[in-house]
Amino acid sequence: MKAFLVERYGDKDGPRAGDVPEPKVGREDVLIRIRAASINPLDRMIRDGEMKAILPYRVPFVLGNDLAGVVVEVGAAVTRFSVGDEVYARPDKDRIGTFAELIAVRQDDVALKPGALTMEEAASLPLVALTSWQALVERAGVQPGQKVLIHAGSGGLGTIAVQLAKHLGAHVAATTSTANLDLVKSLGADVVVDYKKQAFETVLHDYDVVLDALGGETLKNSLQVLKPGGKVVSVAGPPDAAFGREIGANPVIRLVMSALSFRIRRRARRHNVTYSFLFMKASGNQLRELTHLIDTGRIRPVVDTVFPFESTREALAYVEAGRAKAGKVVVKMT
């Protein structure tokens, strides 16, 4: 089958198109013919080797972390799906490879595709929707009336997180650029800060939760907008020891993670708030919860551009260059 492969870490021209064997289907697996896949910042990080300590893939490997498609075969122990089902998924971190014609995914990581969505729209959702759920529902426990700040509100993660936070009953603020103010407001944000004109930390105060997708100075300044006892959940900041324990990292790696996050955790303590790093996990059950919100109109996907599958490298370059205006970039099988 055709796929896009990372042959060596740090290859800015990769991944390369090539032919690979069709995946083997385990007892708990469904084999999915991929109709669309989406681009995530994680793809670039994996390609460049930035995640090797956490995700030590052996080259060559197929890249890609989101998909929508059709079940074409089921394993002997599969009970949830049948051949012909339209599904979407974020495969487990150990079984990525959605920039391909076929993929075998554990049934527990798959959900039926929302009926009203196209394959391209559905493929844009799993990773960012699951990240939003795990950050706002599981990690932060957002409650009605709380104040939540979402950074990069027009990005792939931000567009979904704003809608989910609003559904949870929060007062939602978001940062974005001038060009996307109206879009982010239309997604439900109560306050939208144009980061090109204002420093968010000077206008926002007493927030309960911050979801950070940018890291760096944005993460540091986010501590200032939280009330005592507030929480910042970051998908872009340094990993912490708790994350190391979660993934079963060895003691040396956990020590390194603790050292990497020491400064931001110390800053958080000084502000009487907490910092935690989130690396989302695959979950078909959570996708089914999100499907209900999508089918009832509480969450809608935002797709920037759709590329043909043959142009997957160009799609990655488009995202890496910051050319996407809002939402996700998708590749479509022809």
**Domain shared by 22 and 91, yes or no:** yes
**Domain shared by 132 and 269, yes or no:** yes
Instruction: Tell me the H-state helices in 216-311.
Output: 216-222, 241-246, 251-260, 262-270, 284-295
The SS3 call for residue 318 is helix
Instruction: Summarize the confidence of residues 150-176 as an average pLDDT.
Output: 98
Residue 293 lies in a domain: no
Instruction: Summarize the confidence of residues 223-248 as an average pLDDT.
Output: 92
Structure tokens, 130: 């699951």
Residue 272 lies in a domain: yes
**Domain shared by 13 and 107, yes or no:** yes
Provide the percentage of residues in the chain whose pLDDT is more than 70.
100
d(CA 306, CA 168): 30
Q: Identify which of 65, 68, 75, 55 has the alpha carbon closest to the alpha carbon of residue 9.
A: 55
Distant-in-sequence, close-in-space partners of 119: CB < 8 Å, separation ≥ 6: 35, 36, 68, 69, 86, 113, 332
Which residue has 């989406």 as its token pair?
Answer: 38
**Domain shared by 147 and 78, yes or no:** no
**Domain shared by 184 and 239, yes or no:** yes
- Would you state the pLDDT for residue 243? 86
Residue 289 lies in a domain: no
**Domain shared by 141 and 269, yes or no:** yes
**Domain shared by 231 and 246, yes or no:** yes
List, for residues 177-231, the tens digit of each pLDDT value. Answer: 999 999 999 999 999 999 999 999 999 999 999 999 999 999 999 999 999 999 9
- Would you state the pLDDT for residue 68? 98
- Would you state the pLDDT for residue 214? 96
List, for residues 28-48, the tens digit of each pLDDT value. Answer: 999 999 999 999 999 999 999
Q: What are phi and psi of 15, to 5 degrees?
A: -80, 165
**Domain shared by 235 and 262, yes or no:** yes
d(CA 134, CA 286): 9
Which CATH number belongs to the domain containing residue 318 in this structure? 3.90.180.10
Strands (E), 14-128: 16-19, 29-38, 61-62, 67-74, 86-89, 102-106, 110-112
Looking at the 3D structure of the chain, how many domains does it have? 2
Expressed as residue numbers, the domain containing 64 is 2-124+301-332
d(CA 114, CA 98): 19
Instruction: Look over the chain and give the mean of its residue pLDDT values, rounded to a whole number.
Output: 96
Residue 162 lies in a domain: yes
